[in-house]
A and B are shown apart, each in its own frame.
Chain A
Amino acid sequence: MVAQSKTEREDEGGQSTLSISTESVRMNPDLRNSKTKLRQERHELTDEELNTYILARLQQLGVDLSVLPEDDGDAPADQRRILASARRFLRATPPEISALELDALGPAPVLYPSEMSVWNLE
């Protein structure tokens, strides 16, 4: 996936390569602008702000990271690396997915697309 990640970054650089072929999907130019805006916004979110968001969400679920060492590169997991990974995830994944505009009358969510494709056969 490394190569694809690089390509994505290139594609996100204001090019129109994110246009979608299926009629029910489109990358609205305004949304693409707002995606750029989203990227700017996420740069404005500091590590501390994201950490607060992450820890609040985990606390709400009852998941406690404080049992991990704070910063120990020799440990299987520590709070520093877990939070760093989570911050990177939040800065990339949700914005990119939400930036894809789908027609409200487009396809419904499908958990098993390959099966659905044959279940629909006459």
Chain B
Amino acid sequence: MSEVDRRVFVERMASLSATAMISPALLGSQISNTRLPVTQTNGGYTGANIKLPQIQVRQVTDPTELTIVEAAILIRRGEISPVELTQAYLSRIDDWEEVYQAFNTILYESALESARNVHPQRDHPLAGIPLAIKDNFFTAGVRTTANSFIFEDFTPNFDATSWARLRDAGGILLGKTQMGPLATTAATTPTGTRTTVNAWAPFTENVSPGGSSSGSATAVASRMAPCGTGTQTGGSITNPSNAQGLTGIKPTMGRVSLHGILPLTYTRDHVGPLARDARDAALMLQIMAGPDPADLRTLGLPPVPDYLAAVDISRQKRPLRKPFRIGVLPDYLDEPEHETGYFAAREEEEEQRDREREQRAQRTHERNVATTAARGEMLRTLEELGAEIVEVQAPRDWTTLTSSSFNNVRLPERSEIFLEYLRDDVRQFGVSLSPWINGLLLPATEYVRGQRARFILLESILEEIFTQCDAVVQTAPYPFDMVGLPLVAFPIGFETNSAGVPRPIGAMLGGTPYSEDSLLTIAAAYQQATDWHLRRPANPDHLRPDAPSGPRSPGRIDLLDVMELGQ
């Protein structure tokens, strides 16, 4: 047995032992305060090797404009204190949270107390940085609800590994963010009342804030937090990042521990940051990534690269010159169709709902036209930066293996995880019940065939796409989510027609397994040449001076929308 094989074998055995110790507490029993695993781990994170990049900090009048790297540098220099920074964010929360509704828990006192106790050290790269954490991350002593009836009174007694690492790096828990119930769809209450709005169009109901991590996205975009965390099973990091002008990274399966994350699936849940720019995303991922004995999916993988080095391109004129080949699928720049056929195929009893969807589709079409133009500009910019743009063909089985039916193979996993709750009372699932019921109905034969198909899909992507390029543009997150490949999302422009106010347009790039460093390099190079990532939404009173000062009237999401549009 080679040294590498021996190391992998030993790590796997250790992980299996760790899992065996915690599994009786989790499997087959309902999660409550007394039945939860008590494994407290940060996966061995020390932060000793993470050094802040030395960059020139922009001059800003409001500290909430700073990126986390900029803020951390100023804190070390003594030019701003952690208390001042935290207070600045709490002040914006006081002013605007009633409109944005990005948080479901705000930790005013404990955040300030943590800020007062910060002593910046070399191995605490986030010392004094407040963070918005999605409410499906276990946070010791702080309610963790996943916006669900099931966990509405649940308080974990330990931290999720990824949050523990951020905490040990000096991060301050500013609050827990709104999310789709149990991470299913855009942020709503368990009964389907919309909560979080898009920070760029807070008074326009038809403008989505993104997927289930939209609370974190809105908090960061609206400058109520400098950075946030999210989870992605079907687009919930990359979609809200694109919707709100942020840089988000959905890492490869296993790169970041899922220990202490309320699960939606075993095989497709991913954890990652939603950040202001690629450098912040790199710093967050550097801290969150790495092996964790409590999650065997993180073991036996390639070493975590130096993501901060990957985004350090400030002195390079053409930072993407070889070896970066960026693949473009044939329809990426096609004029989008105005979809109607899908709706026409629906049952008669839903005609009214379908008409409403048609109207939404019309607005979406206008936005798609602007998106196509922005994509063309992005490719031209990347080419100027030295990248080689190559047209790649989608694998011939792409349409079949990435269809909604094969995407649905994930559903039995959530149904199995929550079977006891389904037996107890299906009303606990509120508006998100439908995919859980449907997951119970997929026969095991089809589930197994679907799992075989996933590996075939990955092989075809690796053999037919990534032999021609190093990263490939994507128009939807699902194919890469299905097989666990990494995605980076970043802003590439704006349009105003669909909502009457400027809204960000985003792009997504996918890469090979564990190539997050390459994806971050591309995003960082693009952001060196553009300023889309520096733009911030106007405050609500500038967008609508006549808006009532009280809470806006919320809309609702329908149960059937959760099945079709959810994770």
Contact surface of A with B, Cβ cutoff 8 Å = 1-9, 11, 17-22, 24-25, 54, 57-58, 61-65, 67-68, 76-78, 81-82, 84-86, 88-90, 92-94, 96-98, 100, 102, 106-119
Contact call A118/B514, Cβ cutoff below 8 A = yes
Check A114 against B396 for contact (C-beta < 8 Å): no
> Shortest CB–CB separation between residue A43 and chain B, in angstroms?
13
- Given known contacts A93-B442, A113-B484, A117-B458, is B476 in contact with A1 (CB within 8 Å)? yes
The CA-CA distance from A41 to B453 in the complex, in Å, is: 24
Q: In the assembled complex, which residues on chain A have CB atoms less than 8 Å from the CB atom of B449?
A: 97-98, 100, 102
Please indicate the chain A residues that have their CB under 8 angstroms from the CB of B464 in the complex.
Answer: 21
- Complex alpha-carbon distance, A90 and B462, angstroms: 32
Residues of chain A lying within 8 A (CB to CB) of residue B431 = 76-77
| Count of interface residues, chain B, beta-carbon cutoff 8 Å | 80
Contact A4 B404 (CB under 8 A): yes
Q: Which of A1, A114, A116 is within 8 Å of B485, CB to CB? A: A114
CB distance from A13 to the nearest CB of B (A): 12
Given A113-B458, A118-B513, decide whether A85 and B560 contact each other with a Cβ distance below 8 A.
Answer: yes
A54 to B438, CA, bound (A): 9
Determine the residue in chain B with the shortest Cβ distance to A11.
Answer: B399
Given contacts A25-B456, A54-B441, A114-B514, 7 further A-B contacts (CB under 8 A): A11-B400, A21-B397, A76-B190, A76-B433, A77-B559, A84-B349, A115-B297
Within 8 A of A (CB), among B464-499: 464, 476, 478, 483-485
Chain B residues with CB below 8 A from A86, complex form: 434, 437-438, 441
Residue among A18, A57, A111 making CB contact with B440, cutoff 8 Å: A57
Q: Does B448 contact A (CB under 8 A)?
A: yes
Q: How far is the CB of B321 from chain A (nearest CB, A)?
A: 27
Q: Does B395 contact A (CB under 8 A)?
A: yes
Q: Does the CB pair B434–A113 fall under 8 Å?
A: no
What are the interface flags for B387-406 relative to A under an 8 Å C-beta threshold, 1 for contact and 0 otherwise?
00000000111011011111
Contact B451 A114 (CB under 8 A): no
Tell yes or no: B379 within 8 A of A by CB.
Answer: no
How far is B559's CA from A98's CA once the two chains are assembled, in angstroms? 27
User: Which residues on B sit within 8 Å (CB–CB) of A58?
Assistant: 437, 440
Do A22 and B427 have beta carbons less than 8 Å apart? no
> B77: CB under 8 A from chain A?
no
Q: Find out whether the CB atom of B301 lies under 8 angstroms from the CB atom of A19.
A: no
- Chain A residues lying within 8 Å of B409, measured Cβ to Cβ, are 97
Contact B560 A8, beta carbon cutoff 8 Å: no
Q: List chain A residues, Cβ under 8 A from B514.
A: 114, 118
Known: A11-B399, A85-B438, A94-B442. A6 touches B341 (CB 8 A): yes
Q: Are B456 and A107 in contact (CB under 8 A)?
A: yes
Interfacial residues of chain B within 61-93, with CB under 8 A of chain A in the complex = none
At the interface, yes or no: B454 with Cβ under 8 Å from chain A?
yes
Residues in A whose Cβ lies below 8 Å from that of B462: 117
Contact A4:B402 (CB < 8 A) given known A86-B438, A89-B408? yes
CB pair A22–B397 under 8 Å, yes or no, is yes
* Interface assignment of B332: CB less than 8 Å from any CB of chain A: no
Interfacial chain B residues near A6, Cβ < 8 Å: 339, 341-342
Of the listed residues A58, A116, A117, the one surrounded by the most CB atoms of chain B closer than 10 A to its CB is: A117
Measured CB to CB, the nearest residue on chain B to A121 is B302
Q: Is the CB of B433 within 8 A of A82?
A: yes
Asked whether B560 lies within 8 Å of A93 as measured between CB atoms, the reply is no
Any A CB within 8 A of the CB of B267: yes
B441 near A64: Cβ-Cβ < 8 Å: no
Q: Which residues of B contact A2 (CB under 8 A)?
A: 339, 342
Give, as a whole number of angstroms, the nearest-CB distance from B459 to chain A.
7
Q: Please determine whether B347 and A88 come into contact, CB atoms closer than 8 angstroms.
A: yes
Which residues from chain A contact B433 at a C-beta distance below 8 Å? 76-77, 82
Partner among B300, B438, B441, B483 whose Cβ is within 8 Å of the Cβ of A113: B483
Task: Say which residue of A1, A81, A97, A106 sits within 8 Å of B446 (CB atoms).
Answer: A97
Q: Judge whether A89 and B441 touch: CB under 8 Å.
A: yes
Separation of A62 and B425 alpha carbons in the complex (Å) = 10
Q: Is B304's CB within 8 Å of the partner chain A? A: no
Q: 13 interchain pairs (CB within 8 A)?
A: A4-B399, A57-B440, A58-B440, A76-B190, A76-B431, A78-B559, A86-B441, A98-B445, A98-B446, A102-B452, A107-B452, A114-B484, A118-B302
- Complex alpha-carbon distance, A107 and B212, angstroms: 33
Min C-beta distance of B210 to chain A, whole Å: 16
In the complex, the chain B residue whose C-beta lies closest to that of A77 is B433
Tell me, in angstroms, the Cα distance from A44 to B403 when the chains sit together: 24
